[in-house]
Each structure stands twice: as structure tokens, then as C-alpha cells.
Structure 1
Amino acid sequence: MSLRSLTTRADLPLAGNKNLAVRVTVLERGCVRYVVRTAHVRGTFVLIPEHLRGGSVLPSSLRVQFGDGMDICGYYEHRPDEPVIFGMRLHGWTDGIDPDHVSDGWFLGRYAASLRAGVHRQLTTTVRRRTEDVIRALVAHWRSLPRRQELLLAAARPTAEDLAMHEAELAAQAEGEVADLQGMRAAARRRLNVVTGIIRRRPRPVRATDPAPVRLSLVDRRNRPLGTITVREVAVNEDVAGTVVYEVHGARVHGRFTVGRNVYRPQPLPQGVHVAYGHARARYFEYERDHEPTVNGVRLDGGWDHSTTDDLTASTPDRLPAHVRLTRTTGHSAPAATARRAAAVLRILALHYLDRPDAGALRLAAAQDMAWKHLSDTRQALRDLRREQTAAERRARQHRAREQQYRALLVSALPGLDTALRPAA
């Protein structure tokens, strides 16, 4: 006997010592129609197992549709034989009902309403309570059907292929994440080896501070002369490892600049260059430095980061930062003429620093000063990546398993299939 031939009559217990006379018919796709004809309640309810993306492999919740029919119907269109309870006609549906644990309280969804003249109206309290009583009785009867598992299988098969493809896509995404994370872990391990090598290297000798003045010529971005400055070393590799502090005078420039490698990038061996306005006493978080320079009579603060030295000449890069402080935490850009002269000073000092015979030793000193932090950060990154990869591998396995379960729904029921495809979260 096919599922669709199952049509019975039943009297279902209702709250208030009343009975609900129903006629039960099994429809396509595992749906069950309940036609109710009793006092104050007349109409058709259809219980539909919900087979949802991301849900259980077999449907684990029900949607109760008000009115007959299996076709898609707009929210503003009436269905045949919509239930009438206490004179109010029900429209729409309510979903997400757990058949094994129907709520004792209010549970009708927002799409359960009354539709009159194209306007949706909320159900009255009396109608709402009686509707929920009726649904509880219908769900209890549905739960007791002897071929309930076959209903779930029939409901799942029409969408099983689409859901299997969806799970396959999610599995492929997770497997792609695994491959990416494996590459990131390999890069982190290489980085760890580099940092360890830096820590183990013997420090190289750094030249002591040379107070002898040096004259340097300034040019703008078009190589036009802007005068000369006198540069004198004040400190070498002292407060901030790998840096040189220069005192500058001449060509409308007076004050100190701290020059070193750009350690504000993640490379274990720092690249590029960093020039700070003033005498830097710490690597980070200095709101104000000693001996901040004046350019064209304007006092400047902040600094310039550059990630490479390949494009560095006396005239390039063009636009470099020149910031004027107003308060401890606020300021604005310097005038154009001041910014142009400050950029020339930053470039020539960076080149002067890089031309030192001990530039490699200063670079190693900066790298070793940061190496233990890089080592700690890299180890933590490896732990995080390992945890993320484990989670991605778990997701990939879960999605592949669910894909196979969905595909198993497409074949004829075999002994033991019901057990293998029990609803799973």
C-alpha cells in the first residue's frame, strides 16, 4: 500500500475535554493533510516536514500551512479551504515546530494572520489560543503515525540533490581553507626559522658616535637645490636599537632627527627606513620628543615610514609627511613650502644613514632587539593557525559526511537506511 493511499478518520483530544474530528490524508513529498469539521473549527491544515539548508539530514521540524494545496502561494493570496476558527479566517503558516517538543506557550509565527481585503490582521487572543490547541493536537497525531520515517524520507528526497550540492560546496570551501592554512603554517615555520637564526647570530660591531660635522646638500623633487645642512651624530644605537640620532642645522632647518630601519613592518629582518622628527627615546608611543626640529620656523613632529630603500634618492619619494602639533593629540599638515623642505631633509638623512659602513650591523641590532617579540608572536600565530586548520578539517569532514547522507536519500530505501539517516543536528 502506498503512502498516498493512507486516508483515515480520527477524533483527536482537544483542550477543554473536547474532541477534534479530522480526516487525514497523506499527500506527496511527505505532507499530511488534516481536514477539520467540528464546532467553531472548520478548514484544512497541511503539516509539512521542513527540509532546510543547514538543518538535519532528515527533516526535524514541521511547518503548518493554513489551507489546502501543495503549490506555491503568495502571502497575499488565499488558499482553498483556509481554516475558520470562531468566525475568523486563518491565513499563512507557522513554522519551526519541533514535533517532539511542542511549546506549551505561545508559538504561532508572524506569518499566521487573518487576510481580509488584502490587509493582514493579527489574530485575536481567543483565536490564537484555540489555533495553537488545534495545532498541538494535529502534531501529536502526526507524531504517532506508524510510517512517520517514510514520510520524512519522502519529504527529504525532492531537495536532497540540491542540499547535497550545497554541502559539497561548503566542503570544498573548507578544504580550500585547509590548503590556505597549510601554506600559512609553512610560511610561519619559515619565519620562525629566520627569527631563531637572527637570535643566534653574533652581534656585529657598531661604529661609535662621530661628532664631526658633515655637510649635505638638499634638493627638491625636481633636483633643484634647496641649500645645505650641517649634520652631526648625537647618539648611535643607544635608546632605540639600530638607530642614529642626527643634529641638523642650516638651510632653515634646526633640530634633531632619529634615523633607523623600518621596524614597523612584520619582517624579522627590517627593511626600508624610518625617520622620526626629534630625539627618539623609545620605539613606540612617543607623543612628544626632545629637540623636535623646526623647518622654515615651523616645529614638526611624527615621522616617516618607508617599506623599501629601492626607490630612495635625494629627490624621491616626492610627498613625505610633515605634521604640526596643535595639542598633545591633535595637529595638522605643515605648509607646502615647509613640507617640501622637510621631505628633502628626510630623504638626505635616510641616504646618509644607509651609506654608513656599519649599516648592516645597525640593521642586525634592530632585528635582534625585536626578535624575541617576533618569536613569541610567530609561535602564537602557529598555534592559532593549527587550531583554525583543525576546525576547517572538521568542517570539511562534516560537510562531506552530510553530502553522502543526502545522496543516500536519493536511492531506494534499503534495510537499515532509516537508522543510518536519523535526524542529526
Structure 2
Amino acid sequence: MITLMRGTRRSEPAIGPLTFAVHHLEHGRTRYVVRGRHIRGSFVVIPEAMKDGPVLPNTVHVQYGCDGNGDYWRTPRDDEPVIHNVRVHGWTEGINPDKPPASWFLDRYATSLRDNGTQRELTSGVRRRTEAVVRAVVRHWSRLPERRALVVAAAARRAAEYAEHEAGLAAEQETKAEALRAERAQVRARLHAVNGIARRRPRPVGPLRPAWTPVNLVDATGASLGTMAVREVELSEAAPGSVVYEVAGRRLEGRFTVGCDQSRPEPLPQGIRVTYGHVQNASPFCHEHPHEPHVFGVRVGGRWDSKSAETISATSPARLSALARTGVRARMSASGPAERYCSAVLRALALHYLARPDRAALQLAAAQANTPAQRADARRELRELRNAQRQAERAARDHRTREAQYRSLAQQTDHCSRA
């Protein structure tokens, strides 16, 4: 017999003495048949063995009434508790038996079920008294000498299923760790290549060609757009490996900076970058450059990055961007004819740059200038991959440990059933 005395807190109403008849059911369930003043019915305490939860559950689930037949959401269970003439239906989950909550812990699944099947929220008084009874039942259960055996029985019920679940999670983490290990090897190879490039002796770059050279322009269909004159102004110091070109033609004048694309992780840049204007500051936050060209009387700007120089021809890529700096389309894309003309100019300059005999020297100069940034990026990426791999390996070990524990529980159940 347990007596709950009237407390000083309002959440603990006096409910008088309670008598418990305790019955152990299968799968670790314990039925408490409770009798008291204005209180009668059964409470079933069930250790919560849940997927992805602790192998041996540390919380319990209190069910109102005994198992019966039917839909438990709408159909009452056998011997559901009646507290002050209110039948309590449903269940309450997530209760720590060693430290049950003080108040207001009955969740939305604890309701009042009427004879016509409708459910209503419990009144404040019935809720507080139900909570007091649940606390008393759970505290009594927590002190049972067979508590561990009940917990193990509850965990063993679906141990084989949970073992397979843990095995699947472990396999996922092991696959992830293996992929991260391979990715680390690739990054290490890239870092070695970057270090090798840094140690290379720079190659001599050929002299500038200050004389004007005619260059043919064609659109994406191969139709002629005339010619333009090109001359080399300087080898860029702001963007190593780049050449600054000045152009002049029909309604065209200005400068372009043509060089290697350094924004991708290849140790030796394989792409090409053409920037409108004379690049004097290689910062990625610098969007405008001096001497940006004028096309059809409108100053245009922007940049074209190509991942690979091998895909560039006189007619491809077909459409390249040009941002109008002035005119009615300022801060928008240039007009169709201007963009078509700029695309032809960009392609022609890229091919003119790629035809230089010292392109390998320019490529090496661009790569060596980018070595510090690439080395720092590779080292940062290696740290992140190493940490991710360790986390995956740790998670895999944890899941394998849990799998072994579940299989041990399942074997214990098999031995008991055969015995």
C-alpha cells in the first residue's frame, strides 16, 4: 500500500491510500491494478524499447487499461482507469522512472473516452490526479527487484529486427568512411602536385608583340563580323600568366585581360579567363576595371571563365555574357547585337592567347601564383575529410556494437523459448 499525502505544491493533490496488485505480463510488461478512493482500473508499465534508442530502455510507457481487441484509438481497453467517474483512455510515454516529471506531463494521447466513442481533453482536476497515480505507479515499478529482467525482456522482443537495422546503419557509415578515405587520397595527390609545381623552375615568357595584328571575327553560325586589330599591352602583374590586349575595330575599342582560370582546383589551370578591361586588382570583389571596352558606343564589362580551353573555337561557345555599364540597359545584359559581337571578340582573343608559343610558361606562372591558396585549400579540405572520416568510422563502430548487443539479446530469447 502506498499513501500519497497532501503536498504543498498544487500539482500533487491528496488522493489517499492506493492499493496495487502487481502482475508481470509477457515482453517485460507489468500490470498494476489500482484501487483507491474514487480511483480504480489498470495501468500497464512498459519499458520503451525503441529503434535508435538505448539498447536497454531507460524510459517507460504507461498504458491505461489492459490489452484487448479492436482499435485502441476509438475502442476502450479492458479495465481502463476511472478517476472521479472519468474514464482515462490512451497512454503516456517518455517517463523517466527514476525521476518522474512533477506535473503536466500527460501528453495528447491521454484523453477522456466517452461511451459514444468521442474523446475529450482531461479536465485539470482529473489530469492532476491521474498524474499523481502515474507517478506512484512508476516509482513503485522503479524499485522492483526484477526491474532489470523486465527491461531486458522488453528489449529482446524486437532485438532481431533492431539488430538488422543497426547493421544497415553500420554498413552505410562504413561505405561513407571508405568514400571519404578515397577522397582524401585524391586531395593528398593534388597537394603533392601543388607542392611539385611550387618547386618547379619558372619558364621564360616570350616578349610582347606590340604591333597591331588583324584578327577575324565570326558569329556562332560562322558568319563574318569583320575584323579587329589586336596588340599586346603588357604581361599582367595582378593576374600572373595573363596578357593585356588592346583592341580596335568597327565601333570597338578598349582592353581585355586574357589568362588562365585559377578558380578551379587543378594544380595546373586547364581553363581560360577573359576579363573586360585592364585587370590591375585580382581581387574577386573587384567587378569593374580600367579601360573597359566600348562596343556600339556602350561600355561593357564582365568576365568569361571556361573550364577547359579545348572546347573553345571560333564559333563556340555560342553566347557569352556582356554587361552594359552605360546606356539605357545599364546594369543589365547588353543588347542582342552587342552581345553577339562581344562573344565573337572574346572567342577570338581566347584563341589568340592560346596560340602563343609560351602558353606553357604562362600556365606555370599562373599555377605558381596560385600555389599558396591551393595549398591552404587542400590542407583545409584534408582536415575536414579526416574529421568526417573519423566521425563515420566512430558511428560505424557504435552501430556494430549496438548490433552485437541486440543479437545477444535475441539469442537469449531464443534459448529461453527453446527451454
> What is the TM-score with the length of structure 2 in the denominator?
0.92
Change (3 A) 1:31 1:164: same
| Matching residue's letter, 1:84 | V
Deviation at 1:119, TM superposition (A): 4.4
Please give the per-residue CA displacement for 1:146-180, whole angstroms capped at 9, x wherever unaligned. Answer: 22222112211221011101110110011011101
Matched with 1:268 is: 267
| Matching residue's letter, 2:44 | V
Matched with 2:66 is: 68
Q: Output the CA distance in 2 between the equivalents of 1:302 and 1:41.
A: 81
Change (3 A) 1:332 1:278: same
Secondary structure class of the residue paired with 1:407: helix
Matched with 1:95 is: 93
Matched with 2:309 is: 309
Aligned residues between the structures: 404
Deviation at 1:315, TM superposition (A): 0.9
Secondary structure class of the residue paired with 2:102: coil
Please give the per-residue CA displacement for 1:72-118, whole angstroms capped at 9, x wherever unaligned. Answer: 84433322222121222212111011111112233222222223455
1:252 matched to 2:251: yes
Deviation at 1:56, TM superposition (A): 1.1
Could you tell me whether the CA contact under 8 Å between 1:89 and 1:114 is conserved in 2? yes
Deviation at 1:394, TM superposition (A): 1.0
Range that drifts further, 362-371 or 15-24: 15-24
Matched with 1:174 is: 173
Deviation at 1:413, TM superposition (A): 7.1
Q: Output the CA distance in 1 between the equivalents of 2:326 and 2:56.
A: 67
Matched with 2:201 is: 202
Q: Output the CA distance in 1 between the equivalents of 2:390 and 2:204.
A: 46
Please give the per-residue CA displacement for 1:309-340, whole angstroms capped at 9, x wherever unaligned. Answer: 1121111111111222479xx82222211111
Unpaired stretches in structure 2, ≥5 consecutive residues: 7-13, 415-419
Could you tell me whether the CA contact under 8 Å between 1:312 and 1:347 is conserved in 2? yes
Query: Which of 15, 30, 33 does residue 35 from structure 1 map onto?
Result: 33
Secondary structure class of the residue paired with 2:76: coil
1:12 matched to 2:12: no
Please give the per-residue CA displacement for 1:16-61, whole angstroms capped at 9, x wherever unaligned. Answer: 3721112221111111111222211122211111101121111211
Please give the per-residue CA displacement for 1:297-317, whole angstroms capped at 9, x wherever unaligned. Answer: 222111111101112111111
Identity %: 49
Matched with 2:333 is: 333
| Matching residue's letter, 1:265 | R
Q: Output the CA distance in 1 between the equivalents of 2:73 and 2:332.
A: 58
Q: Output the CA distance in 2 between the equivalents of 1:168 and 1:223.
A: 61
Matched with 2:319 is: 319
Matched with 2:139 is: 140
Could you tell me whether the CA contact under 8 Å between 2:68 and 2:78 is conserved in 1? no
Matched with 2:21 is: 23
| Matching residue's letter, 2:141 | W
Could you tell me whether the CA contact under 8 Å between 1:49 and 1:62 is conserved in 2? yes
1:56 matched to 2:78: no
Secondary structure class of the residue paired with 2:172: helix
> What is the TM-score with the length of structure 1 in the denominator?
0.90
Could you tell me whether the CA contact under 8 Å between 1:243 and 1:259 is conserved in 2? yes
Deviation at 1:258, TM superposition (A): 0.8
